[in-house]
Amino acid sequence: MNGGAICGGYDFTARRVLLCPTEGRRRRFYCWYAHWYGWTYECLGCGDRWMDGERGERPFARGWRAQSIARAKAGWDRVTVPAQARRATFAAMMRTYLTTGRYSVTPEEGGMP
């Protein structure tokens, strides 16, 4: 997972604790950034996803919520880079991208604004 826009590849991941609009309470969110799509936030409490302030479409499938929650928890557990380092790396990546049009860091270095 590096550089280009490869579907399914997450370029940056992060943990956030935010107010879940579905549940109306603070929840843990597993977040990932993908080129072209921007940030997606997945709630560890209810499994809903949020993109650009809009709730993601809920799958028409039995058990989707439990699967979504499990996926978000697994993602949360994989985020190992400290938040401050992620933010700094992401900011540097965006600066490079905005000036050169190219990405400059690896996904493992991760980051978010």
Least Å distance, CB 35 to Zn ion, is 26
- The b/e string for 66-103 (b: 16+ C-beta within 10 A; e otherwise) is eebbeebeebbeebebeeeebbebbeebeeeeeeeeeb
Least Å distance, CB 29 to Zn ion, is 8
Query: Whose Cβ is closer to Zn ion: residue 46's or residue 92's?
Result: 46
Residues forming the site for Zn ion (CB under 5 A): 20, 22-23, 27, 43, 45-46
Query: Whose Cβ is closer to Zn ion: residue 1's or residue 46's?
Result: 46
Whether 48 contacts 22, CB under 8 Å: yes
Query: Whose Cβ is closer to Zn ion: residue 22's or residue 80's?
Result: 22
Helices (H), the chain: 64-78, 83-100
Least Å distance, CB 91 to Zn ion, is 28
